[in-house]
Structure 1
Amino acid sequence: MLKKIFKPAAPARSRPVPVVAPAPTAETKASRTSAMVAGMAGGRPVWAARDSGTLARSGFAGNPVGHRCVTMVAEAAASVGLSLWREGAALTAHPALALLDRPNPAQGRADFLQAAVAHLLLSGDSYLEAAGPDGAPPRELHVLRPDRMRVVPGRDGWPEAYEYRVGGRRIRFDMLAGRPVLHLRSFHPADDHYGLSPLQAAAGAIELHAAAGRWSKALLDNAARPSGAIVYSGADGSGQLGQEQYSRLVDELEAHHQGARNAGRPMLLEGGLDWKPMGYSPADMEYQRTRDAAARDIALALGVPPMLLGLPGDNSYANYQEANRAFYRLTVLPLLDRVTTAIAAWLSDLFGEQLSLVADLDSVTALAGEREALWRRVSAAGFLTDVEKRRLLGLPDRGADG
């Protein structure tokens, strides 16, 4: 029997289908914002660097409010009288007292304390150096610049040395052999070795104050040239000026519509020219209010009542005397107490005896009224002993002791 062998049929080859390009259609850009031109877009704020050197330049040397606040606090702290105590008795003659009265040949006590307090406010750190023979009490005290000082921490995290850099030179102060340097620093919640400057907290306000000042200066320089554009629509619809027309327009704007002399001068446009404002008016920007608010924030960070600076819109205190008294009570005296306590402990280690520096509140003119009332109340209290009365008045337990 013959078997029929069936072979599968070969698959038919498909013919290539020609690709036909779609007919071109008119394409339209349908963006709803394409017709809008932004001459000025608001983005993220750009802040300057906030290291101690930059803050000192921008917040003190370049800002009148910061300069005045730091100067007021430092000068007020340096003007308060100080007395040196030992075991409850005021000293009239002591090497440490002579050293404080004349810390170095270039500075007296007021200049020395003013520099120490000013550095503490500007950078959050203040460094004092005791200069003298090894193993002997110091003969001079100097205030060192914080931007040149670097803390060298030891294995336990505490500073084992301080490194002072000047012009490529490095001077190392070893803290394990003694205390040649006193480091005064403000509280910093996120740093173990360096303090937080009040200018750090006021850095944003300082930049706003400076920006408002630049705005005001630019407004005076270009008062009659508002921020905007001159649009030209020619008769042929080209919207382009010829070179001669363009040069003449620019020269006319510079000659007749720029500078304080031309402030408020009307602009005459001809030949298809039209003015399109693109910026904010000074009223919209409210730069003066922004500047005043920034100034109050700077004063607040440095602990100075704005009333003492003559800033408008601040009536927190009933009168100038009350504001001045609050300035001393809330800012100057607490800061001075912290500084003098640290200096007294430092001098105690250097001279090998327990010493105290106490502020003489009777020397503060701003506190004269309340000090007089306190003296009357304490003097009339017959149930108090003389020692108790002296302590309430901030006086030593006994008189001067050489």
Structure 2
Amino acid sequence: MSFREKVGRWLIGTDAAQADSGGPISNSAEVALPTIRRGTEAYEWFTGMPAVAGLPVVTDRSALTISAIWSCVSLIAGAISTLPMNLYNRSSDGERTIRESDDLWWVLNEEFCPRWVASAGWEWLVLSRLFEGDAYAEILRKGPRVSGLVPLHPRRVEPVPWKDGSRLAYVVYPEPDLADQSVRVIDQDDMLHVPGLGFNGTRSFSPLRHALQNVGGVALAAQNYAGQFFANQARPDYALVAPVEAKFDKEKIEDLRNQVEERHALRNGQASKPMLLTGGLDIKTITLPNKDAELAVTRQLQIEEIARIYNVPPFMIGHNEKTTSWGSGVAEMGTAFVRYVLRRHLNAFQNEINRKFFRTASRLAEFDTFELERADLKTLFETFRSALGRAGEKPILTRDEVRRLINYGRTPGGDSFEETANAKPAA
């Protein structure tokens, strides 16, 4: 059965084909696949998202033509893609020890799968969450061991609850350029699904269809208008006004029309030469000039609105008209960026990875945000001196623990606490 036939069967409500390699999932008969109805996201995928008040439709591609959206998503996705993800063992008393050698570390930090380097995979997953609301990646396994991740486009994945609502299954449609693939159904244990705001047990709200639908549409309209304005040599529309007594034959009207068209088509370098108006003709502007339309102000407001949607301070995307209350130092701004912007995304990924990969409290994965939060070298080393125990103070870190934070090697005896000569017991 061809892919077209399989999609056709799904559209009329019949079951999707099962995966050719993995076979049907457990209790697959309990999965009721949906049909496309007006008002559903699947309906919008096939028919296009509705425009708002005649504004341009905001899609993932058109959104990235807006510099403020590009800056916000690249800032968040790029920052997360640079963070190492560490693996830990956790004892019953809560003490954690880092796992120095683990094949899963390679998957999470270097290579998701042969097609995906880890940094690009993390950027794609974050971008999916920022645009579509949900991020998906198929979990590859060799027996019980996780061997890789395959990021999926959110619009290729349809989460479907079982009839009793206890679990999810995922209908995965083939990539457009791969004709040999089939529609597959994947159990939730083999799908990394990182939801966003408004998750209802199946899907999250899509920022493209909610927060960005109006703001992004206005930004696109303003951007298109600005492009047309300057393509028109920064001149507004005008009309040629003739006195009442003037009479023009068809030949003269055609000659004037040719002058206008030739000038605006920039033919033969004629754009810099004036038009020759005869018969008392005058030029009258019929649209508001750029200043009156306040195009620049409108575009500035859209930058602030878009930054607010993604919770990114405008100064971090180059909008410096307003000051920040995040502090003046790099460390203060970096800490605030992690705390107020990145943390919600990091927690969502960590929670999903831990529950799908380990299913136990004794092992966990966690992003290391030290590099983003570290202070300048002087402040950093002052902090390390305090942690190692200054005169009259107890140490709280060993030398090797400090050296590990700055990617230095171990030293002999570096794992033991060494109190300073004048250290006193803590009160």
Q: Could you state the TM-score of these two structures normalised by the residue count of structure 2?
A: 0.68
- Residue 327 of structure 1 is aligned with which of 337, 345, 348? 337
Q: Per-residue CA shift, 1:24-48, capped at 9, x if unaligned?
A: xxxxxxxxxxxxxxxxxxxx83234
> In 2 relative to 1, CA 142–247 (structure 1 residues): closer, same or farther, beyond 3 Å?
same
SS of the residue corresponding to residue 139 of structure 1 reads: strand
- Residue 82 of structure 1 is aligned with which of 82, 85, 96? 85
SS of the residue corresponding to residue 138 of structure 1 reads: strand
Identical amino acids, percent of aligned pairs = 23
Q: Per-residue CA shift, 1:4-54, capped at 9, x if unaligned?
A: xxxxxxxxxxxxxxxxxxxxxxxxxxxxxxxxxxxxxxxx8323446xxx2
1:121 lines up with 2:134 in the alignment: no
Residues of 2 paired with 1:91 and 1:66: CA distance?
38
Matching residue of 2:354: 344
**What amino acid maps onto 1:243 in structure 2?**
K
**What amino acid maps onto 2:253 in structure 1?**
Y
Residues of 2 paired with 1:103 and 1:329: CA distance?
27
Residues of 2 paired with 1:272 and 1:264: CA distance?
22
**What amino acid maps onto 1:142 in structure 2?**
V
Offset of 1:372 from its aligned partner? 5.7
1:174 lines up with 2:177 in the alignment: no
Offset of 1:206 from its aligned partner? 2.1
Residues of 2 paired with 1:153 and 1:49: CA distance?
30
Q: Are 1:307 and 1:323, in contact at CA under 8 Å, matched by a contact in 2?
A: no
Residues of 2 paired with 1:329 and 1:371: CA distance?
19
**What amino acid maps onto 1:251 in structure 2?**
N
Residues of 2 paired with 1:263 and 1:315: CA distance?
43
Matching residue of 1:209: 219
1:283 lines up with 2:295 in the alignment: no
Q: Per-residue CA shift, 1:131-182, capped at 9, x if unaligned?
A: 234x53232211111111001122233543100112483111134xxx0112
Q: Are 1:257 and 1:265, in contact at CA under 8 Å, matched by a contact in 2?
A: no
- Residue 61 of structure 2 is aligned with which of 57, 66, 69? 57
> In 2 relative to 1, CA 374–187 (structure 1 residues): closer, same or farther, beyond 3 Å?
farther
**What amino acid maps onto 1:121 in structure 2?**
L
SS of the residue corresponding to residue 288 of structure 2 reads: coil
Offset of 1:266 from its aligned partner? 6.3
> In 2 relative to 1, CA 139–258 (structure 1 residues): closer, same or farther, beyond 3 Å?
closer
Matching residue of 2:198: 188
> In 2 relative to 1, CA 294–372 (structure 1 residues): closer, same or farther, beyond 3 Å?
farther
Matching residue of 1:22: none
Matching residue of 1:7: none
> In 2 relative to 1, CA 181–150 (structure 1 residues): closer, same or farther, beyond 3 Å?
same
Residues of 2 paired with 1:353 and 1:192: CA distance?
23
Matching residue of 1:250: 257
**What amino acid maps onto 1:73 in structure 2?**
I
**What amino acid maps onto 2:146 in structure 1?**
P
**What amino acid maps onto 2:134 in structure 1?**
D
1:304 lines up with 2:312 in the alignment: yes
**What amino acid maps onto 1:112 in structure 2?**
G
- Residue 143 of structure 1 is aligned with which of 146, 151, 162? 151
Q: Are 1:152 and 1:162, in contact at CA under 8 Å, matched by a contact in 2?
A: yes
Off by >4 Å, runs of 4+ in structure 1:
256-268, 317-320, 322-325, 365-387
Q: Are 2:168 and 2:202, in contact at CA under 8 Å, matched by a contact in 1?
A: no
Offset of 1:378 from its aligned partner? 5.1
Residues of 1 paired with 2:230 and 2:306: CA distance?
25
Offset of 1:251 from its aligned partner? 1.5
Q: Are 2:374 and 2:380, in contact at CA under 8 Å, matched by a contact in 1?
A: no
Offset of 1:262 from its aligned partner? 7.4
**What amino acid maps onto 1:103 in structure 2?**
F
Offset of 1:225 from its aligned partner? 4.9
Offset of 1:129 from its aligned partner? 1.1
**What amino acid maps onto 1:183 in structure 2?**
H
Q: Are 1:325 and 1:367, in contact at CA under 8 Å, matched by a contact in 2?
A: no
Q: Are 2:237 and 2:285, in contact at CA under 8 Å, matched by a contact in 1?
A: yes
**What amino acid maps onto 2:104 in structure 1?**
A
Q: Are 2:195 and 2:348, in contact at CA under 8 Å, matched by a contact in 1?
A: no
Q: Are 2:135 and 2:154, in contact at CA under 8 Å, matched by a contact in 1?
A: yes
Residues of 2 paired with 1:356 and 1:292: CA distance?
43
Residues of 1 paired with 2:281 and 2:225: CA distance?
28
Identify which of structures 1 and 2 has the higher relative contact order when contacts are C-alpha pairs closer than 8 Å and 6+ apart: 1
Q: Could you state the TM-score of these two structures normalised by the residue count of structure 1?
A: 0.71
Q: Per-residue CA shift, 1:291-345, capped at 9, x if unaligned?
A: 1221222222223322122224232256573544432332123322321232122
1:204-243 aligned at under 5 Å gives the runs 204-223=214-233, 225-235=235-245, 241-243=248-250
Q: Are 1:96 and 1:347, in contact at CA under 8 Å, matched by a contact in 2?
A: no
> In 2 relative to 1, CA 140–59 (structure 1 residues): closer, same or farther, beyond 3 Å?
same
> In 2 relative to 1, CA 296–205 (structure 1 residues): closer, same or farther, beyond 3 Å?
same
**What amino acid maps onto 2:256 in structure 1?**
L
Q: Per-residue CA shift, 1:359-387, capped at 9, x if unaligned?
A: 33333365557766655565559887859
SS of the residue corresponding to residue 55 of structure 2 reads: coil
- Residue 162 of structure 2 is aligned with which of 154, 163, 166? 154
Offset of 1:76 from its aligned partner? 0.7
> In 2 relative to 1, CA 221–259 (structure 1 residues): closer, same or farther, beyond 3 Å?
farther
Residues of 1 paired with 2:198 and 2:318: CA distance?
31
**What amino acid maps onto 2:290 in structure 1?**
P
Structural RMSD (CA): 3.6
Q: Are 1:224 and 1:259, in contact at CA under 8 Å, matched by a contact in 2?
A: no
Offset of 1:58 from its aligned partner? 1.6
**What amino acid maps onto 1:126 in structure 2?**
A
**What amino acid maps onto 1:93 in structure 2?**
S
Which structure has the larger Rg? Answer: 1
Q: Are 1:224 and 1:265, in contact at CA under 8 Å, matched by a contact in 2?
A: no
